[in-house]
């Protein structure tokens, strides 16, 4: 971490200490990183709240959507629905490199053999390319989603960029109230028990009492795709 970036992080933490999510978003988009900050959204469960907040500040703000080639059809339909409903004009769908796919996952079954390598190929590496023009990015992570996210800060540094979690302190009650107040549609798979929705082969229903993310990579020790990892942990790479 560069000393300049560390100072920037310290300044942001002081300037926005206790700020509401809307004020954080507005400050980042208009003052701190104008034209240099993007939202990365899965358009999955809970995504509509942060997308709605963004739309109230700048409907043309860049939104990165990772189209892994393994998503539920319902997710793509939900993406299109929210783009139309919220008037979002900055959404860009990013796909894996077709040459890399052909070389590393020619049969499309890497997810069953090495899920870390599959996530690296289909999510981590495409996101690195998509974020190249930006100095900062927003995530929709919340502390209540899983024990591994319970202590997340609002501002982080990762790979030379500021990473911002503007609604990290929202509770499930806060989130539900926001959906109700703004009449936001839910992802169609939520009603069927899918509370955290990623790629189809690696997502299952969540049982009562489980963490919202318990249905991701069920039966394995894997808890994140590699886009979000604990400090100091390096994401896996797909080998050619």
CA dist 237 and 63 (Å) reads: 24
The region, left, alpha or beta by phi > 0 then psi within -120 to 50, assigned to residue 161 is: beta
CA dist 135 and 37 (Å) reads: 6
| CA dist list (Å): 216 to 45, 60, 67, 90 | 13, 31, 17, 28
* Helical axes 73-86 vs 47-57, angle rounded to 10°: 30
- Residue 225 a catalytic site member: yes
* Token reading at 52: 């709605």
CA dist 154 and 59 (Å) reads: 22
CA dist 195 and 219 (Å) reads: 17
User: Which candidate in 119, 199, 202, 225 is catalytic?
Assistant: 225
Q: Are 186 and 45 in contact (CB under 8 A)?
A: yes
Closest CA to 104 of 224, 222, 237: 237
CA dist 162 and 234 (Å) reads: 17
Kindly list the catalytic residues.
225
């Amino acid at each position: 971490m560069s000393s300049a970036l560390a100072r920037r992080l310290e300044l942001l933490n002081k300037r926005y200490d206790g700020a509401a999510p809307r004020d954080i978003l507005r400050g980042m988009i208009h003052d701190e990183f104008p034209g240099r900050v993007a939202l990365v959204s899965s358009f999955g469960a809970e995504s509509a709240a942060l997308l709605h907040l963004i739309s109230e500040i700048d409907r043309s703000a860049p939104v990165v959507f990772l189209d892994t080639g393994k998503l539920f059809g319902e997710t793509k339909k939900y993406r299109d629905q929210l783009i139309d409903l919220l008037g979002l004009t900055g959404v860009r769908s990013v796909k894996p490199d077709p040459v890399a796919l052909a070389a590393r996952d020619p049969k499309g079954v890497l997810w069953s053999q090495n899920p870390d390598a599959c996530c690296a190929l289909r999510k981590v590496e495409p996101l690195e390319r998509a974020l190249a023009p930006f100095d900062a990015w927003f995530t929709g992570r919340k502390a209540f989603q899983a024990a591994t996210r319970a202590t997340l800060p609002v501002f982080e540094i990762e790979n030379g960029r500021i990473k911002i979690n503007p609604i990290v302190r929202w509770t499930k009650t806060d989130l539900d109230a926001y959906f109700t107040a703004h009449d936001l549609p839910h992802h169609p798979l939520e009603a069927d028990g899918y509370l955290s929705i990623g790629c189809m082969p690696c997502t299952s229903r969540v049982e009562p009492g489980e963490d919202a993310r318990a249905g991701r990579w069920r039966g394995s020790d894997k808890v994140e795709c590699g886009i979000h990892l604990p400090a100091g942990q390096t994401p896996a790479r797909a080998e050619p």
